[in-house]
Amino acid sequence: MFITFEGVEGSGKSTQAKLLAELLTKIGHKVTLTREPGWGQLGELIRKVILDERSLELDPFSELCLFCADRVQHVRDFIKPKLQAGEIVICDRYYDSTVVYQGNGRKLDKRLVNKMAKASTLELIPDITFLLNLPVRTGLTRLQSRGDITKMDEEPLEFHELIRQGYMLIAGREPNRIKKINADRDIVEIHNEIRSIAIESISLKSKS
């Protein structure tokens, strides 16, 4: 079972991914929580280049290639082996992020972005994706109180609006996989909704 979390900056992805991982562990599943970008030795370097190095002005196409390179290693060397061992893997951001950030946000050729993003999954598509839907400004305000601001967070408001719109478009195209969750609520309320959807999907999958 492969579950991913998506949404604009500060929408609560990490908070909810952690709560879901804890809950599923508590009820007896073996769960791995991971995130993108930044798995492993290469991933850590790539994450630094993409999100931290303010002196580096990356071309959007280079950025796309780096996100995809990070994902290929992550899927091949970490996520797939965990899934094959029967674990539930929860990933904080995955290929939908590439589709919307590089396609809608950076305005690269959408067909190229979709093709590269898809290829970088090595055909591993999530069983469920929780899309935390939150007004951009609310997310950015939450981040200011949290701290730990990345280069991506510092993009102008219009950029983040394009991301939110991009997410809405892909959610409309794949309503079975992508579950839109109202993230403008209390943490526990959001968790309860995510929890019931996840538990139902896990039980359906185990019967199939």
Ligand X SMILES: Nc1ncnc2c1ncn2[C@@H]1O[C@H](COP(=O)(O)OP(=O)(O)OP(=O)(O)O)[C@@H](O)[C@H]1O
Smallest distance, Å, CB 184 to ligand X? 7
Smallest distance, Å, CB 150 to ligand X? 7
Between CA 109 and CA 157 the distance in angstroms is 22
β-bridge pairing 31-35 and 2-7? unpaired
Q: Is the dihedral of CA 76, 124, 3, 35 positive or negative?
A: positive
Cα distance from N-terminal residue to C-terminal residue, the chain: 12
Smallest distance, Å, CB 48 to ligand X? 16
Residue 190's binding partner, choosing from Mg ion, ligand X, none, with beta-carbon cut-off 5 to 8 A by kind? ligand X
Interface mask (CB under 5 A) for Mg ion, residues 7-46, using x and -? ------xx--------------------------------
Quote the DSSP letter at residue 7: E
Binding residues for Mg ion, how many (CB under 5 A)? Answer: 2
135 DSSP β-pair partners:
none
Amino acid at position 11, single letter: S
State the burial class of residue 151 (Cβ atoms within 10 Å of its Cβ: 0-12, 13-18, 19+).
Answer: middle
Residue 10's binding partner, choosing from Mg ion, ligand X, none, with beta-carbon cut-off 5 to 8 A by kind? ligand X
* Residues at the site binding ligand X, with contacts judged by CB under 6 A: 7, 9-15, 142-143, 145-146, 185-187, 190
Regarding 150 and contact with Mg ion (CB under 5 A), the answer is: no
Smallest distance, Å, CB 87 to ligand X? 22
Residue 133's binding partner, choosing from ligand X, Mg ion, none, with beta-carbon cut-off 5 to 8 A by kind? none
Binding site for Mg ion (CB under 5 A): 13-14
